[in-house]
């Protein structure tokens, strides 16, 4: 090997080694900048005890969840009760969010990742535009008792480790998020934050009504359709009022209607200020009156359709029966056990009743699917002749 060739080879080795070293140093510097925040709290210092309200603004509008005494309410729904467990879990989850990845981001990337701010947080209201269209982000603001912000977060697009066939329906592996005070950095958190929504239906306490041991059902529609069924005791056959000769009740139909009355869940609550004329409750499309063997009467008035739901008002009258009538031929040894079971059931009913009666103050939205077994024509209750 000539001396000149050896010198050239040595120079090449120095250049290649230097380039590799420079590349490694640059990679380490980039990695180090991310390592500094990797695993760090996203909303440092946020604790559930300090949060008195949450303002959420998105493309579909905005709402405020406010803590009132020992419960949470939805302000834009006339103080309708919020699901306490959902709100508390969301606040705790937000305080526990850790940074999984961070990258610099520009204006175009913010729009692509749905991280654009949804307008003025203070002026947005439920039902009004959020200001950025369907691709805008969801701005979440946690506030203290004096209404000062404790933390703010923009929730953007879903994050997937592998892109699924239907991203809109697939459960994400995480979420792209951004802090409004740092709009040049996007973070990835491992939680999909599915609860981050400005829709009131996602937050209300959906526990509805449970009319148990139904004695009679009286259905009257605005179009003149009317029927009434009743029974002598819990478990006996239903009788159709005004049944004509040859008409027999298909007992499965009244049973299904009674079952529906025992699980009337709430889909949403009407906005504050919704008038009877706007909801159709000034001239109800149907009225259902159900009496129970426990001494209660449930009156359900239905208004207009709103998508898959009906506007509704529900009132409960009467008081639970305090004593149990012994069954015919009841043995003495069975009486004590049955009396205890009766007392326990009435105690459960009395504990639940104040919450159900308080719902009478609100205009509700009840899903049509839960009412279908009640909204039948008289002819549909009859057994078909073979």
* Per-residue pLDDT tens digits for 291-312: 999 999 999 999 999 999 999 9
Residue 29: per-residue pLDDT: 43
Are 220 and 369 in the same domain?
Answer: yes
Are 326 and 360 in the same domain?
Answer: yes
The reply to whether 169 falls in a domain is yes
Are 197 and 221 in the same domain?
Answer: no
Element housing 9 (H / E): helix 3-35
Residue 238: per-residue pLDDT: 96
| Domain stops at, among 150, 181, 202 | 202
The reply to whether 20 falls in a domain is no
| Domain stops at, among 158, 178, 202 | 202
| Domain stops at, among 202, 237, 269 | 202
Residue 60: per-residue pLDDT: 82
Are 181 and 70 in the same domain?
Answer: yes
Residue 323 CA from chain centroid, whole number:
39
Residue 296: per-residue pLDDT: 97
The reply to whether 11 falls in a domain is no
Q: Which pTM was predicted?
A: 0.81
Question: Residues 102, 185: contact at Cβ < 8 Å?
Answer: yes
CA 42 to CA 316: how far, in whole Å? 47
Are 56 and 144 in the same domain?
Answer: yes
The reply to whether 2 falls in a domain is no
CA 142 to CA 41: how far, in whole Å? 15
Residue 24: per-residue pLDDT: 41
Contacting residues for 84 by C-beta, under 8 A, at least 6 apart: 71, 72, 205
* Joined tokens for residue 161: 């480790």
The reply to whether 30 falls in a domain is no
Residue 22: per-residue pLDDT: 37
Are 234 and 141 in the same domain?
Answer: no
Alpha-helical regions (H) of 49-195: 84-95, 107-112
Alpha-helical regions (H) of 239-315: 252-261, 276-279
Element housing 30 (H / E): helix 3-35
pLDDT beneath 70, residues of the chain: 1-35, 119-135, 385-386
Are 228 and 346 in the same domain?
Answer: yes
CA 175 to CA 82: how far, in whole Å? 25
Are 192 and 92 in the same domain?
Answer: yes
Q: Which residue has the tokens 């070293």?
A: 21
Q: How many domains in the chain?
A: 2
Are 247 and 153 in the same domain?
Answer: no
Are 234 and 325 in the same domain?
Answer: yes
CA 230 to CA 178: how far, in whole Å? 59
Q: Which regions of the chain does DSSP assign to beta strands (E)?
A: 53-58, 61-68, 71-74, 80-81, 101-104, 138-143, 149-159, 174-178, 185-189, 214-221, 226-230, 239-240, 268-269, 286-292, 296-306, 309-318, 364-367
Q: Which residue has the tokens 């699901």?
A: 83
* First-last CA distance in the chain: 108
Residue 20: per-residue pLDDT: 40
The reply to whether 74 falls in a domain is yes
Are 179 and 308 in the same domain?
Answer: no
Q: Mind listing the pLDDT tens digit for each residue in 216-226?
A: 999 999 999 99
Residue 283: per-residue pLDDT: 96
The reply to whether 86 falls in a domain is yes
Are 163 and 248 in the same domain?
Answer: no
Domain that holds residue 310: 214-381
Residue 81: per-residue pLDDT: 96
Question: Residues 301, 362: contact at Cβ < 8 Å?
Answer: no
The reply to whether 250 falls in a domain is yes
Residue 167: per-residue pLDDT: 83
């Amino acid at each position: 090997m000539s001396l000149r060739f050896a010198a050239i080879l040595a120079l090449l080795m120095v250049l290649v080694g230097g380039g590799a070293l420079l590349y490694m140093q640059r990679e380490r510097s980039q990695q180090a900048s991310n390592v500094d925040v990797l695993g760090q709290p996203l909303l440092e210092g946020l604790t559930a005890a300090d949060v008195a309200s949450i303002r959420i603004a998105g493309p579909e509008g905005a709402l405020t969840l406010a803590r009132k005494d020992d419960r949470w309410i939805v302000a834009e729904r006339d103080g309708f009760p919020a699901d306490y467990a959902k709100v508390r879990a969301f606040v705790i989850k937000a305080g526990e969010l850790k940074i999984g990845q961070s990258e610099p981001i520009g204006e175009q990337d913010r729009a692509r990742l749905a991280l654009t701010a949804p307008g003025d947080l203070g002026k947005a209201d439920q039902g009004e535009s959020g200001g950025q269209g369907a691709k805008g982000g969801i701005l979440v603001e946690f506030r203290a008792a004096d209404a000062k912000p404790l933390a703010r977060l923009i929730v953007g697009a879903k994050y997937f480790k592998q892109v699924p066939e239907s991203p809109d329906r697939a459960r994400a592996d995480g979420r792209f998020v951004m802090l409004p005070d740092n709009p040049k950095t996007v973070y990835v958190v491992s939680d999909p934050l599915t609860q981050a929504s400005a829709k009131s239906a996602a937050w209300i306490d959906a526990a509805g009504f449970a009319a148990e041991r139904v004695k009679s059902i009286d259905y009257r529609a605005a179009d003149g359709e009317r029927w009434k069924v009743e029974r002598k005791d819990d478990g006996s056959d239903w009788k159709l009022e005004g049944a004509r000769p040859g008409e027999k009740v298909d007992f499965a139909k009244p049973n299904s209607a009674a079952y529906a009355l025992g699980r009337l869940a709430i889909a949403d609550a009407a906005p504050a200020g919704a008038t009877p004329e706007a909801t159709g409750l000034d001239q109800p499309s149907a009225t259902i009156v159900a009496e129970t063997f426990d001494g209660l009467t449930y009156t359900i008035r239905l208004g207009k359709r709103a998508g898959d739901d009906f506007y509704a008002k529900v009132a409960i009258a009467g008081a639970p029966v305090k004593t149990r009538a012994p069954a015919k031929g009841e043995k003495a040894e069975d009486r004590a056990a049955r009396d205890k079971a009766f007392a326990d059931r009435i105690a459960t009913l009395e504990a639940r009743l104040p919450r159900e009666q308080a719902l009478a103050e609100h205009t509700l939205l009840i899903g049509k699917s839960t009412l279908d077994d009640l909204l039948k024509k008289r002819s549909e209750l009859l057994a078909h002749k073979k």
